[in-house]
Amino acid sequence: MSPRESIRMTSDEVESFLMTRSHIALATLDSTGAPDIAIVPSRCEEGHLVIEVDGRLRDAVDRDPRVCGAAEVCPSYYELRGVSVHGVAEPDAGGGVTIVAQQVMSFDFSKIQARPE
């Protein structure tokens, strides 16, 4: 197992981590195609990341549904954990948006085995 693989979270760990987050950084594309990032309320439901969007973000995801949501915590170096979800935003019945994940990246530095003394 490579060092990179050894710090990845399992699917269950990713879901568990996202369930502890009430907000994520959400990257969308603005009307010129430039990246735009906002901190948005979020929740994890049945393995999916659901976000609340306001008018500006609603316009962005209606124009181009490709999004990236990221969350991380960093109490200390060996407690650094994070998840990045790349996917497509789909409107849900409650006025929010569900991110349909196409790629999930994660890291959990507490899994690092070789640590300096």
Domain regions of the chain by residue span: 3-110
pLDDT for 4: 55
pLDDT for 16: 94
Q: Are 44 and 19 in contact (CB under 8 A)?
A: yes
Indicate whether this model's pTM tops 0.75. yes
Q: Could you list the pLDDT tens digit for every one of the 117 residues in the chain?
A: 555 558 999 999 999 999 999 999 999 998 899 999 999 999 998 888 888 887 778 888 888 999 999 999 999 999 999 999 999 999 887 777 899 999 999 999 999 877 676
3-state DSSP assignment of residue 17: helix
Cα dist from 26 to 11, 69, 90, 112, 116, whole Å: 20, 4, 14, 28, 35
Protein fold of 3-110: Pnp Oxidase; Chain A (2.30.110)
pLDDT for 99: 92
